Amino acid sequence: MSNEKITPRSQDFSAWYNEVVQRAELADYAPVRGCMVIRPYGYALWENVQKALDTRFKATGHKNAYFPLFIPMSFLQKEAQHVEGFSPELAVVTHGGGEELAEPLVVRPTSETVIGYFFKQWIHSYRDLPLLINQWANVVRWELRTRLFLRTMEFLWQEGHTAHATEQEAEEETLRMLGVYTDFAENEAAMPVIPGRKSESEKFAGALRSYTIEAMMGDKRALQSGTSHNLGQNFAKAFEIQYLDKRNKLQHCWTTSWGMSTRIIGGIIMTHGDDHGLILPPRLAPVQLVIVPIYKSDNVDDKTKVMETVERIKRGLPNVRIEVDAREELSPGWRFNEWELRGVPLRMEIGPKDLQKNQVVLARRDTKEKAFVPQEQLAQKVPVLLDEIQKNLFERAKKFRDENTFELGSYDEFKKFMEGEGSKGFVRAYWCGSRECEAKIKEETKATARCIPFDRDNKPGKCIHCGKDSKEKVIFAKAY
């Protein structure tokens, strides 16, 4: 890792992003086009995402399972909208063991079909419902334009799949899990999100309704950060997922699916990072506090005293994820820059002079502020500072989003706002609900309907494109 300057975000956001991901050792490019290697630091971040989500899933009654990577092609063909929606992205295995397969196998793009097959076998009576399953897995989608974490051919995710007795229960589950994603994004990742419903043309292939959380990145583009789908009875009918109700009548189940992937790591990077590198929210950061001891390597007495104090401080903070960087071959400044690049929320500096004063220096990654703190106050001060950093990152990102969200009065204003390759932010605008208007807006401005937010006022207005009466406001933006 070098201490060379990173391309400024304002100069080239895409180059900044790629440099940060690689130089902070989160991920690297794989030998296969469009795939990535997640390095240990990046995987530790993903593990913290997993823990935070998994705890929430289990608290809402879901259990983890695992289903096959290979899915018979005939399974996807059972649900017409589903296969049509995914067919351009499928990776298909036609040969195995040196022979042509009797039926091609699809490498898992998502698991509604194979899980539907097993739900049919596992569900017989209303007593078997609801069935609440989550899977941690990898999926493959043959993407043409890829970017580390944000869009790769293979990525890691969780996908929840549930079956219910009624449409109301399925809808409640769909919205409950969107709420779980909102809670995670805002309270763990410090990413303010807008929860809402997807338009008909943007919904998941085969779903009755799709919901999403949308976040604004540092370049003012939108990122779809998690989705939850009410699948209605489409997959239940395709796979004959039925149950006997209390009147002993056979009924089709109502199913849902929902997912969040390693794309959220890209979201964290682009929401909080600056020209010096990553800024990680403390609750997810692999390292919350890095301790940099400072002494002259040839002064054994100073080294011994400093390192003894470091170990004592570390023992006094058992609930904080700590890294000690005592590499003597690198200057303190070099080490400071490296951990700044890696986005560690808090840095502690301690040398012989600090020992004499019974203090340490604490430096915040988010504000760059430094403070002298008495050693006896560290057990209390460090957790408080980490909480303050977590809160500040969220509030800062929310302020940025709110300041770059606009309501425009005419389509001419809208088109002018969306001109150019870059993004100027989000637009809240009325939309009549017509696919034709939505398609025209996308064609003419490259902006898409990100979601119909839940927090809209429902006052009537005029469609931003055609001027017809409208009851719904939509978030329009250029997106990843």
Domains by residue range for the chain, with CATH: 13-272 (3.30.930.10), 289-385 (3.40.50.800), 405-477 (3.30.110.30)
**Do residues 281 and 265 lie in contact, with contact meaning Cβ atoms separated by under 8 Å?**
no
Q: Per-block average pLDDT, block size 10, for the chain (480 residues)?
A: 84 97 97 96 98 98 98 88 78 97 96 96 98 98 92 97 98 98 98 97 93 98 98 95 97 98 98 98 98 93 96 97 97 97 98 97 98 98 98 98 95 96 96 96 97 88 95 96
Please identify which residue in the block is written with the tokens 């130089």: 23
- Strands in 346-350's sheet, in edge-to-edge order, are 322-324, 289-293, 346-350, 359-364, 370-374
- Cα 188 to Cα 49: distance, rounded to the nearest angstrom: 8
Residues 157, 215: Cα–Cα separation, whole Å: 18
* Ramachandran area for residue 214 (φ above 0: left; ψ -120 to 50: alpha; else beta): beta
**So what's the pLDDT on residue 48?**
98
**Residue 134 falls in which region: left (phi positive, over 0), alpha (psi -120 to 50) or beta:** beta
How many Cβ atoms are within 10 Å of 88's Cβ, its own excluded? 10
Strands of 63-64's sheet in order across: 63-64, 131-140, 154-164, 254-261, 222-232, 209-216, 194-197, 448-453, 472-477, 426-431, 405-407
Number of neighbours of residue 373 by Cβ within 10 angstroms:
18
What is the 3-class SS of the chain, one letter each residue? CCCCCCCCCCCCHHHHHHHHHHHCCCEEECCCCCCEEECHHHHHHHHHHHHHHHHHHHHCCCEECCCCCEEEHHHHHCCHHHHHHHHHHCCEEEEECCEEEEEEEEECCCCHHHHHHHHHHHCCEHHHCCEEEEEEEEEECCCCCCECCCECCEEEEEEEEEEECCHHHHHHHHHHHHHHHHHHHHHCCCCCCEEEECCHHHCCCCCCEEEEEEEECCCCCEEEEEEEEEEECHHHHHCCCEEECCCCCEEECEEEEEEEECHHHHHHHHHHCECCECCCCCCCCCCCEEEEECCCCCCHHHHHHHHHHHHHHHHCCCCCCEEECCCCCCCHHHHHHHHHHCCCCEEEEECHHHHHCCEEEEEECCCCCEEEEEHHHHHHHHHHHHHHHHHHHHHHHHHHHHHCEEECCCHHHHHHHCCCCCCCCEEEEEECCCHHHHHHHHHHHCCEEEEEECCCCCCCEECCCCCCEECEEEEEECEC
Give phi and psi for 377, each to the nearest 5. Answer: -95, -5
- pLDDT of the residue at 398: 98
Phi-psi region at 89: left, alpha or beta (left = phi > 0; alpha = psi -120 to 50): alpha
C-alpha–C-alpha distance, residues 440 and 421, integer Å: 18
Q: Do 107 and 69 form a contact (C-beta atoms < 8 A)?
A: yes
> pLDDT value at position 297?
84
What are the residues whose beta carbons fall under 8 Å from the beta carbon of 5, sequence distance 6 or more? none
Alpha carbons 368 and 339: distance in angstroms, whole number = 13
